[in-house]
Structure 1
Amino acid sequence: MNLPAFADLLASRGLRLLPGSHAVPVELLVQLNDATITRFTARGTTLRISRFPADALTTITIAAECGCGDHHPRTGPARATLSRYAVPFDERTIDGELEFGWQSHEAGLLRLSDAATHFFTLLDQLQPTPERVLVGVA
């Protein structure tokens, strides 16, 4: 499975794969139906999904190699990422060492098709979006 096929799978569930996602090692940024953002990573022996508010998503501009403006634009492409100050609402993990007997970096070696199963398992375990409660002020 490649990223476009995974994006189609997500779209069939009403989810959106965001730019900045990559398949090796697996790191996914996904926008949920309620506009919150999830980041799923497979690193070391840990599979982790974190849920962030919609405003945690930001873009960074990659500087051009030379930036002289003559033969290269002064700025490079923009990349979607989470703000460095973003704090997740909720986070779930699978400890591969305990669950599967992984020893070092097996999570980072997972193919996207194998990691997708864990993504959906962890996504189902996330708490619903916190509701805003309006309080009357006298």
Structure 2
Amino acid sequence: MLHALSVYIRPEFTAYIPWGQAEVYRCQKVFPSLPLIERCHNYIIDAKYLYVCDRCGQTIKRHSKSLDIDRKVCGICQGHFILRSRDGKEFSRRPANTFAQFVKENYGKERKPGVKPAEIMKILSLRFKEKGMASETGEIITVE
């Protein structure tokens, strides 16, 4: 509310209020029906993902999985973060499927100068199919 008031009264100040509380006080006297004009928000921000420190319990909220839990540590105790959902359940990392694992192991072997990545993926999918790994796991690999 304070930011909206500042833009209305003094459009040259589009950032947060450098001109003080005098205008706020005057505005509240003129318009007593308006809610209290404050500098900080007073509502709860609902985030989809919670990062909880495994040592001290410090919680960080995010709307996306933007925190790299392998590299970032808690600023309070240097503990590691555990990714949890909004309701507190812990997320578990799914293991890579067999095709992804196959590509990870063999991509470097097939990579040659001048060969496009799409062509490498076609070769790898053919090799995966030849080895019969696709039929064992029930995965569907299409080659065009």
Q: TM-score, normalised by structure 2?
A: 0.22
- Tell me which protein shows more helix as a share of its residues: 2
The one of the two structures with greater contact order (alpha-carbon pairs below 8 A, sep at least 6) is 1
Higher gyration radius (CA): 2
- Tell me which protein shows more strand as a share of its residues: 1
Q: TM-score, normalised by structure 1?
A: 0.23
